Amino acid sequence: MKLRLFFLLGIVLLFLSSAYGEESEGRRFPSLISSLDVPAQLDFCKERVPIEIQGIKERLEKELLLSLWDRPQVILWLKRVPRYMPHIESMLKENNVPDDLKYMAIAESALRPHVSSKRAAIGFWQFMKDTGRKYGLIINEHIDERRNLFASTQAAIRYLKDLHEKLGSWTLAAAAYNMGEQGLEAEILEQGTDDYYHLYLPLETQRFIFRILSVKLIVSNPEQYGFYLSEGDFYPPMEFDQIQLAFSQDIPIRIIAEAAKTHFKAIKDLNPEIRGHYLAKGSHTLLIPRGSPKNFHRQFHSLFQQWMTSRKEAIYIVKEGDNLSLIADRFNIPLVSLLIWNKLDLRAAIYPGDRLIIYRKESEAMGADKGIGGEGGDNL
């Protein structure tokens, strides 16, 4: 049923591309059969793939066909490559590990920082929480460096180098990365071979190296597979300045954005490891858009002081009978804003005497009669 649905969808897509004047690209898109004409000599990290063995060839062809069938996804891979891949390549080179490992990031995440798996692996390199922490990634309620390109790539390099040292092969290292080294070592011991291509492994791991190889073939020569992208089609490279910040309490990300003369979204996009709307207290290395004001730190300090002043004036003390919804209605603010300002969950309980932050805008005049700000209010 699924295959029939995919077939019908493919026909519809071909029809639509024709209707919108893309016949020329359609004519240049090679047949799937001709796409299987792979090089007679193929390697992963300079380790030979025995493509002459029929079963090996079949496994490669399957993954190549599945990749090529999802043509929109391949186009997105290719468009993202200039944005992220130069940084990954540079780090691989600096650490003296094979360049082919870069294709793992595409096979794992399609170069998407926020993607997660059913097993809760997250980020560019799809780290599980425990493995990420083992290799130095900060993963907590405030920060998840699995989503950070630089931190996660360095962690992946360290992990793969350890696996290579233990297993003696980059192919086995990649397989162990996928299924776990203890499981792979057990299978090697039980089956009496350390040749990945002759090991019976979990099906996902049996496919994993071939998925990486299909990515390598397509990304290395997209025109051969009918993907003709001009320079203007690619997403632009990441351009940023790096800053160091340290503060003694959590601060809103919007203050950083204002100091950099940009938007909240721009800061979150450059720093996808930040969770939520606040940056936790402590020292941070952050990326801001290249060309941000040279007086960023002065701007930030000024905005921070303003925010601190407004925060002290925005304390509401919870009274008997209050709940979050009633308080939000009373001050004519969205309930979600109240939760964000106070870093609360919707199910959080509040009690008389608790202090809540409520920033006044159009309700500025409510002041003392609502118990916020002013001489007669319940502010600190």
CATH at residue 345: 3.10.350.10
Q: How far apart, in Å, are the Cα atoms of 361 and each of 279, 310, 340, 378?
A: 23, 11, 16, 18
| Backbone phi and psi for residue 106, each to the nearest 5 degrees, phi listed first | -70, -45
The two tokens of residue 289 are: 């858009």
The reply to whether 301 falls in a domain is: yes
212 and 150 belong to one structural domain: yes
Calculated CA dihedral for residues 215, 219, 221, 227, nearest 10 degrees = 100
Q: What's the alpha-carbon Rg for the chain, to the nearest Å?
A: 27
166 and 211 belong to one structural domain: yes
Instruction: Render each residue's pLDDT in the chain as its tens digit; 380 residues.
Output: 555 555 455 544 544 444 443 444 545 667 777 677 788 889 999 999 999 999 999 999 999 999 998 999 999 999 999 999 999 999 999 999 999 999 999 999 999 999 999 989 999 999 999 999 999 999 999 999 999 999 999 999 999 999 999 999 999 999 999 999 999 999 999 999 999 999 999 999 999 999 999 999 999 999 999 999 999 999 999 999 999 999 888 899 999 999 999 999 999 999 999 999 999 889 999 999 998 888 999 999 999 988 888 776 678 889 998 888 888 888 888 888 888 888 888 888 889 988 888 876 534 433 434 445 433 333 22
Of 176, 210, 233, which closes a domain?
233
196 and 47 belong to one structural domain: yes
The reply to whether 377 falls in a domain is: no
The reply to whether 376 falls in a domain is: no
| Backbone phi and psi for residue 311, each to the nearest 5 degrees, phi listed first | -65, -40
17 and 43 belong to one structural domain: no
- Report the pLDDT value the prediction gives residue 4, as an integer from 0 to 100: 57
Of 279, 309, 339, which closes a domain?
309
The reply to whether 170 falls in a domain is: yes
The reply to whether 141 falls in a domain is: yes
- Report the pLDDT value the prediction gives residue 337, as an integer from 0 to 100: 85
The reply to whether 379 falls in a domain is: no
Element (H, E) at 355: strand 355-357
- Report the pLDDT value the prediction gives residue 358, as an integer from 0 to 100: 86
| Backbone phi and psi for residue 292, each to the nearest 5 degrees, phi listed first | -60, 160
133 and 228 belong to one structural domain: yes
48 and 169 belong to one structural domain: yes
192 and 252 belong to one structural domain: no
96 and 228 belong to one structural domain: yes
- Cα gap 29→223, rounded to integer Å: 9
The reply to whether 375 falls in a domain is: no
Element (H, E) at 183: helix 181-191
58 and 176 belong to one structural domain: yes
26 and 44 belong to one structural domain: no
- Cα gap 298→260, rounded to integer Å: 11
- Cα gap 354→318, rounded to integer Å: 5
- Report the pLDDT value the prediction gives residue 10, as an integer from 0 to 100: 54
Domain count of the fold of the chain: 4
- Report the pLDDT value the prediction gives residue 367, as an integer from 0 to 100: 41
Q: Is the pTM of this model over 0.85?
A: no
- Report the pLDDT value the prediction gives residue 339, as an integer from 0 to 100: 87
- Cα gap 373→366, rounded to integer Å: 9
Q: Which domain holds residue 276?
A: 240-309
- Report the pLDDT value the prediction gives residue 247, as an integer from 0 to 100: 86
CATH number, domain containing residue 106: 1.10.530.10
- Report the pLDDT value the prediction gives residue 149, as an integer from 0 to 100: 97
84 and 170 belong to one structural domain: yes
226 and 253 belong to one structural domain: no
Of 233, 252, 280, which closes a domain?
233
The reply to whether 189 falls in a domain is: yes
